Copies of this chain bind each other. A is one copy, B any other.
Amino acid sequence: MFQDSERPLYEIKANLFKGLSHPYRIRILEILATASLAVSGPGEVAVADILTETELEASHLSQHLSVLRRHRLVRSQRRGSTVYYRLAFPEVADLLRVARSLLGEILEETKDQLDTAGVLR
């Protein structure tokens, strides 16, 4: 059979996190998440707009978008010479949100420890 998806779930999960392990890919996903949040928003963003916002070079951005596509985190659609990207699932935004929440805890605790150590003063 073609059941590559017979891999253990923890392996697939780790692979998902690999797709998320680069700063620019996080930035891209957050741009898309913001677009999907706007009530009257388009839910999608043109590559040119991502280029502008991230200040990446075109081929660098494409490489990252390709990784995101491969990991099924985004979808693309070409209309004429413009390509649009959107989050593939709302849960991607959920994941970013929970990660933000966790980081908040981590950074808060780190700050407390630095305070305790008197490092910040």
Contacts and interface: CB of A to CB of B under 8 A. Distances in A.
Nearest to A119: B2
16 contacts: A1-B120, A2-B120, A5-B111, A9-B103, A11-B23, A13-B26, A14-B20, A14-B21, A15-B21, A16-B102, A17-B99, A18-B21, A72-B106, A91-B98, A91-B102, A94-B102
> How many copies of this chain does the complex contain?
2
Contact of A13 (B88, B94, B100): B100
A84 to B, nearest CB: 19
Interface residues of A, number: 46
Nearest to A97: B98
Contact of A14 (B25, B91, B95): B25
